[in-house]
Structure 1
């Protein structure tokens, strides 16, 4: 009999090849979500209609469904469901992290507290729940510093505070951004923010999967972000690092995971390589997004980390050993102006560039384009994915391809 993996709210069809991975493993897919997107319907064997944002209702429905036909594992690919997945695993006796670990993963403040207790390198920080807290944090941390929500993700609501002259304005701006009723992510740990030391240096992420307390590392991704709102604009796998730098990054990432007792499932640990060594930016209790796990790892080294995440959720053995020796990168086209995207050109030319594996148009003709902090998620217009034997070639070819793209925004 095929094992059944429970997926909590797939959200976006653009990662549907992750579900194809599950099917190739011979798994039966049960999807718990508000609706079943047409684009992924063919992969879903059992659809459970439920409001996934209502955790109590979700648990009640899934407990009843489990009695009808049991699930063998539970997984989600989104930060918002890290805690619900842990609750479901505990309730239904499935492999998974404890609820305590899930909270320490999901709450950026609890992450910081846990790392501080184990002396894991990280920026200085303070919790902020009021304007007075922000003023006090600024005195403790110094300028510049980062101000961000405790429960958001995907670079939402991140501000760089340069001086004390506009603290009131920035605090009000944060309240406006985080009170956006259309963005449910800000409802997690609502009204809680972090002030953190501004770290300088290149950014990286460690990709891997934990299985019964054993940390399996797939590798390190090199990252580039925008200067004004820290949105990720390019990733390269594997990262260009000296052996000593790689060892230091992996050591700090492993210590961070151990500090929160991360024992089961995929992880995506973000770090900054500062002049004082690697420091933790945050720990994500899910696979890395932005095509890192779906495209870059398989294209660069033949690592199917998506398959391993499913196997870990089922409590089975995993293997993250590399099978290829290439490099892969994804580069995003970032909008600089707002408006409506009226037309695309240059797509055929971009696809014709050597090494280009895929062109993904994120904002199609007729779509609105809005810049942060007014709105997040509308200003990354397209992504080009490139594979090459050498990292320098992958980066150059991605630059060439992205430069062909010419969206018209009016």
Structure 2
């Protein structure tokens, strides 16, 4: 495993089929308060900067001398390129380094969309306010760092008057995520025309160039933000739209040349046309892999791991239930109390977590790290799912004290 992921380890820690070797920086182990003794499936942990081959390749040589490796997976965006290189060096299944570069750089992805006729918004790579002013026409723009994750540094530009503030906000953005680490991301930016409409994501497993599993997730975002507020698996959409997504995802896999791996692809639908927003070659965030397991009744992480190791895996392509994750909203300020927390103990709430303690500051939601907590609900149909979700939201409240300026 390239990059530590507690969520993946939690899904596999009772499975004796795996012996996992983890490679990551000391800072990551430390910031996760990682305790190896909790995970018997971990064979060994190695310390290395996973973004710098001068550090991780010597460590790889140590691992090769001691272990026989069956498969390689990345845990997060910053691990995708390294995992691809390691898989190539070991002769194992992987996405390939050239494909990994496309899927970890927003500008490279846009260029691939342009080359392969994958529907996408008008875009341009930029490195100054002047170039943004030259690009803007009659639609709002989205300005993004090409390599940051978790919606960090993304700005919306409505008019030319917004350009200066947006440029300052985006160009000064860095990975903060409570880990406070610079991953050596390239300081590059892309601007593109804003696409309105409903957001979706498509999760796919690709084995030997063929999509063997596909799911469509319906997304909700926080107001005035690009951060996800909730997800429904599978999306409650008609067959026509399902077919569109499946066709475009198949086209993307074929044209870019994805052979083996997991894809988490973000799309938007505006005026009955779908547009590719982003595509990642790693596990989906926000516990979407958990929602898939609850809805389709198979272990998505286990199937992915076995697939990448060239082993037999079990999947189910049709869901038997529906599930939803919802992130709580809270007024920014100092958290003083949480009312109704006992409601999270209801049987239909299969998982929940609160990220903030009493007395801590709650910030406006500008990145995924600013959210205060979540809960997951599972139901037999969409109507019941909505009813149960709304019941929790109505009864669990975060009480904050707004600090006077």
Same fold (TM over 0.5): yes
Number of aligned positions between the proteins: 393
Of 52, 68, 72, the residue aligned with 2:70 is 72
For normalisation by structure 1, the TM-score amounts to 0.89
Of 371, 385, 389, the residue aligned with 2:380 is 389
**1:315 deviation in Å?**
2.3
Distance 1:104 1:350, change over 3 A: same
**1:53 deviation in Å?**
4.0
Which structure 1 residue ranges, 4+ long, deviate > 6 Å from structure 2?
Answer: 179-182
**1:14 deviation in Å?**
4.6
For normalisation by structure 2, the TM-score amounts to 0.90
Deviations 1:31-85 (A, max 9, x none): 1122371274433122223333433211220122112222111112201111010
Q: Is the 8 A contact 1:266 1:287 kept in 2?
A: yes
Q: Is the 8 A contact 2:15 2:41 kept in 1?
A: no
Q: Which moved more, 1:109-118 or 1:272-281?
A: 272-281
Distance 1:15 1:365, change over 3 A: farther
Distance 1:79 1:67, change over 3 A: same
Q: Is the 8 A contact 2:101 2:108 kept in 1?
A: yes
- The equivalent residue for 1:102 is 100
Of 297, 301, 315, the residue aligned with 1:302 is 297
Q: Which moved more, 1:224-233 or 1:79-88?
A: 224-233
- The equivalent residue for 1:3 is none
Q: Secondary structure at the match of 1:42?
A: coil
Whole-angstrom distance in 2 between the partners of 1:186 and 1:194: 19
- The equivalent residue for 2:328 is 333
Q: Which moved more, 1:179-188 or 1:356-365?
A: 179-188
Deviations 1:369-399 (A, max 9, x none): 22255xx344311111000001121122112
- The equivalent residue for 1:195 is 191
Whole-angstrom distance in 2 between the partners of 1:84 and 1:19: 22
Structure 2 counterparts to residues 317-328 of structure 1, below 5 A: 317-322=312-317, 324-328=319-323
Distance 1:333 1:289, change over 3 A: same
Of 205, 209, 214, the residue aligned with 1:218 is 214
Whole-angstrom distance in 1 between the partners of 2:175 and 2:17: 43
Deviations 1:107-153 (A, max 9, x none): 111111111111111111111112222222224xx421111111112
Distance 1:329 1:185, change over 3 A: farther
**1:184 deviation in Å?**
4.3
Of 124, 140, 146, the residue aligned with 1:150 is 146
Structure 2 counterparts to residues 141-290 of structure 1, below 5 A: 142-178=138-174, 184=181, 187-190=184-187, 192-290=188-286
Distance 1:194 1:226, change over 3 A: same
Q: Is the 8 A contact 2:155 2:169 kept in 1?
A: no
- The equivalent residue for 2:10 is 17
Whole-angstrom distance in 1 between the partners of 2:60 and 2:392: 45
Name stretches of at least 5 consecutive residues in structure 2 with no aligned partner. none
- The equivalent residue for 2:122 is 124
Distance 1:122 1:276, change over 3 A: farther
Distance 1:280 1:323, change over 3 A: closer
Q: Is the 8 A contact 2:70 2:309 kept in 1?
A: yes
Whole-angstrom distance in 2 between the partners of 1:180 and 1:46: 27
Whole-angstrom distance in 2 between the partners of 1:176 and 1:99: 28
Structure 2 counterparts to residues 330-369 of structure 1, below 5 A: 330-339=325-334, 341-352=335-346, 355-369=348-362
Q: Secondary structure at the match of 1:177?
A: coil
